[in-house]
C-alpha cells in the first residue's frame, strides 16, 4: 500500500504544486511573525559589573569597620571587670547558688521533671543576666543595671531555696508515710 501511495505522489507531483498559497496569505503570515529580539548583553554586563563593584566595596568597608570595632571590644570588657561592686556580688552570689544547687541535687535525683523545670528556670535567668551584661557594656557602671543583675542572682537563690524547702517537705512526708506503714 505504501508503494502505491508513493508512486501516486511521484506521478502527480506537478499537480500538487499548482495549489500554492497566494502572496496575500504570505504577507499576512509575515505580519504576525515577530522578529527575533536581540538581547543587549553589553548593557546587562555593565550593570552587573557595577553591582559587583558596589557590593565588593560595601563588603570591604564593612569588614574594615568590623575589624576596627573588634579591636576596641576588649577595652569595654576590661572596664566592665573593674567594677568592684559587681565583682564582689558575682563571687558571693555564685558561691551561694553553687552551694544551694549541691543541696538540691540529692532531692532531684528521684524527680527528673522537677530537675528539668529548675534547669529551665535557671537557664531563662541566665539569658536575662547575659542581656543585662550586654546592657552594662553599653552603659558602663549604670547602677540600675548592676542592681538588676544582683536582683537576678537573688531570684535564682530564692528559686533554689523554695525548691529545696518543697523537696525537703515532700521528703519528710514520704518518710512519715513510710514509718506509719511499718
122 vs 102: CA distance, rounded Å: 14
What is the per-residue pLDDT for 1? 66
In order along the chain (182 residues), what is the average pLDDT of each group of 10 residues? 82 73 80 76 83 85 73 42 75 87 83 84 87 77 80 89 85 75 62
Q: How many residues does the chain have?
A: 182
What is the per-residue pLDDT for 69? 61
* Spatial CA neighbour of 128 closest among 105, 97, 150, 109: 150
Task: Provide the 10 A C-beta neighbour count for residue 27.
Answer: 9
What is the per-residue pLDDT for 76? 41
What is the per-residue pLDDT for 94? 87
What is the per-residue pLDDT for 75? 42
H/E stretch holding 22 reads none
What's this model's pTM, rounded to 2 decimal places?
0.50
Amino acid at each position: 500500500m505504501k508503494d502505491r501511495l508513493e508512486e501516486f505522489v511521484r506521478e502527480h507531483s506537478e499537480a500538487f504544486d499548482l495549489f500554492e498559497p497566494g502572496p496575500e496569505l504570505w504577507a499576512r503570515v509575515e505580519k504576525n511573525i515577530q522578529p527575533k529580539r536581540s538581547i543587549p548583553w553589553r548593557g546587562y554586563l555593565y550593570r552587573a559589573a557595577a553591582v559587583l563593584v558596589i557590593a565588593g566595596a560595601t563588603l570591604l568597608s564593612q569588614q574594615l569597620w568590623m575589624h576596627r570595632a573588634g579591636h576596641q571590644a576588649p577595652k569595654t570588657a576590661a572596664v566592665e571587670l573593674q567594677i568592684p561592686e559587681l565583682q564582689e556580688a558575682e563571687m558571693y552570689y555564685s558561691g551561694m547558688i553553687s552551694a544551694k544547687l549541691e543541696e538540691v541535687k540529692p532531692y532531684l535525683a528521684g524527680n527528673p521533671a522537677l530537675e528539668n523545670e529548675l534547669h529551665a528556670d535557671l537557664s531563662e535567668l541566665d539569658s536575662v543576666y547575659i542581656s543585662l551584661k550586654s546592657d552594662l557594656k553599653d552603659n558602663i557602671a549604670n547602677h540600675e543595671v548592676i542592681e538588676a543583675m544582683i536582683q537576678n542572682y537573688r531570684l535564682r537563690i530564692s528559686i533554689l531555696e523554695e525548691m529545696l524547702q518543697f523537696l525537703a517537705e515532700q521528703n519528710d512526708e514520704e518518710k512519715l508515710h513510710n514509718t506509719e506503714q511499718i
